[in-house]
Structure 1
Amino acid sequence: MSDGANAAEPTIAERLTTREERIHVSIGAVCNNNCIFCMEEDRDGRYVNNSAMTTDRVRWILEQNQGSEEVCFTSGEPTTRPELPDLVSMAKGLGYRKISVMTNGRRLSHLPYAALLAKAGMNRFYVSIHGHTKKLHEGLTRTPDSFEQTVAGLASITKLKRFGVELHTSTVLTDRNLPHMLDIYRFLRQCGVDQVVFNVMQANGRADTYFEQIFPRYTEIADTFRRFLADVGEPRPMAFLVDIPLCTTEGVADFNRGYVERYRHFDLGDQANLVATRAPERAADGRGRGLVLVTRQDLDEAQRDKRQACGTCKYGPQCEGVWRNYLKRYGWDEFEPILGPPNAR
Structure 2
Amino acid sequence: MTRAAQTAADPRAITSIAERISGQKDRIHVSIGAVCNNNCVFCMEEDRDGRYENNSAMTTERIRWILEQNQGAEEVCFTSGEPTTRPELPDLVGMAKRMGYRRISVMTNGRRLMHLPYAALLAKAGMNRFYISIHGHTKKLHEGLTRTPESFEQTVAGMDSVAKLKRFGVELHTSTVLTDRNLPHMLDVYRFLREHGVDQVVFNVMQANGRADTYFEQIFPSYTETAAAFRSFLDTVGEAQPQAFLVDIPLCTTEAIPDFNRGYVERHAHYDISRRNTTVLKEQTATRAQQGGGRGLVLLTRQDLDEAERAKRDTCATCRYDGVCEGVWKNYLKRNGWDEFIPIPP
- For the aligned pair, the TM-score class normalised by the smaller chain equals over 0.9
| Inter-partner Cα distance in structure 2 for 1:186 and 1:310 | 37
Deviation at 1:6, TM superposition (A): 3.3
Whether 2:5 is the aligned partner of 1:2: answer yes
Q: 1:173 aligned to 164, 171, 178, which one?
A: 178
Q: Note the alpha carbon deviations across 1:256-308, whole angstroms, 9 max, x for none.
A: 00010100110011224423232222112212111000000001011000010
Partner residue in 2 for 1:96: 101
Counterpart of 2:221 in structure 1: which amino acid? P
Partner residue in 2 for 1:303: 309
Deviation at 1:84, TM superposition (A): 0.1
Alignment of 1:283-294 (within 5 A): 283-294=289-300
Whether 2:321 is the aligned partner of 1:315: answer yes
Q: Note the alpha carbon deviations across 1:117-168, whole angstroms, 9 max, x for none.
A: 0000000000000000000000000000000000000000000000000000
Q: Percent identity?
A: 76
| Inter-partner Cα distance in structure 2 for 1:123 and 1:157 | 10
Structure 1 stretches of 5 or more lacking a match? Answer: 341-345
Q: Note the alpha carbon deviations across 1:173-220, whole angstroms, 9 max, x for none.
A: 000000000000000000000000000000000000100000000000
Deviation at 1:32, TM superposition (A): 0.2
Whether 2:280 is the aligned partner of 1:274: answer yes
Partner residue in 2 for 1:218: 223
Structure-2-length-normalised TM-score: 0.97
| Inter-partner Cα distance in structure 2 for 1:111 and 1:47 | 28
Partner residue in 2 for 1:343: none
Partner residue in 2 for 1:38: 43
Q: 1:64 aligned to 69, 81, 104, which one?
A: 69
| Inter-partner Cα distance in structure 2 for 1:102 and 1:118 | 14
Q: Comparing 29-38 with 265-274, which one deviates more in the overlay?
A: 265-274
Q: CA RMSD in A?
A: 0.8
Q: 1:328 aligned to 329, 334, 338, which one?
A: 334
Partner residue in 1 for 2:150: 145
Q: 2:32 aligned to 20, 24, 27, which one?
A: 27
Q: 2:17 aligned to 12, 16, 20, which one?
A: 12
Q: Is the 8 A contact 1:273 1:294 kept in 2?
A: no
Alignment of 1:46-195 (within 5 A): 46-195=51-200
| Inter-partner Cα distance in structure 1 for 2:82 and 2:75 | 19
| Inter-partner Cα distance in structure 2 for 1:283 and 1:67 | 22
Q: Is the 8 A contact 1:74 1:103 kept in 2?
A: yes
Counterpart of 1:279 in structure 2: which amino acid? T
Structure 2 stretches of 5 or more lacking a match? Answer: none
Q: How many residues align?
A: 340
SS of 2:154's partner is: helix
| Inter-partner Cα distance in structure 2 for 1:194 and 1:273 | 36
| Inter-partner Cα distance in structure 2 for 1:257 and 1:237 | 11
SS of 1:7's partner is: helix
Deviation at 1:8, TM superposition (A): 3.6
Structure-1-length-normalised TM-score: 0.97
| Inter-partner Cα distance in structure 2 for 1:282 and 1:309 | 33
SS of 1:241's partner is: strand
| Inter-partner Cα distance in structure 1 for 2:222 and 2:165 | 38
SS of 1:288's partner is: coil
